[in-house]
Amino acid sequence: MASMFEVLAEPRRREILDLLRGRERPVGDLVDRLSLTQPAVSKHLKVLREAGLVEVRQDAQRRWYRLRVQPLVELDEWLAPYRRMWEAGFDALERHLDSEGDD
């Protein structure tokens, strides 16, 4: 199985997640909004489903996909220490630039 970063590296998969962020959608709606073929969208959805980022429910002949936030929460928690490191660096840069302007 692909790593979460490999899954999210594909721009079309991120577009799908963006579309699902607001509400669940049927495959046909994703096809229309992405201007991709149904097989291409289904391939991306399969990868997202296997990574645990989306789940599907069957409603008669339609398959509805929705975002699963838990894997993204886990990724965000893993990134938190790095974010604090970046923010500390930006804060130091801002202080430096402010002190340069005082001269």
pLDDT tens profile 59-103: 888 999 999 999 999 888 988 989 888 887 887 888 888 888 766
Token output for 36: 């991709």
The pLDDT-based confidence of 2 (bands split at 50, 70, 90) is: low
Q: How many CA atoms lie within 13 A of 89 on its CB side?
A: 6
Q: Are residues 85 and 73 in the same domain?
A: yes
Q: How many structural domains compose the chain?
A: 2
Give pTM, 2 decimals: 0.78
- The boundaries of the domain holding residue 98 are 69-102
| Count of residues in the chain | 103
Q: Which amino acid is at 56?
A: V
Cβ(27)–Cβ(45) below 8 Å: yes
Q: Are residues 47 and 93 in the same domain?
A: no
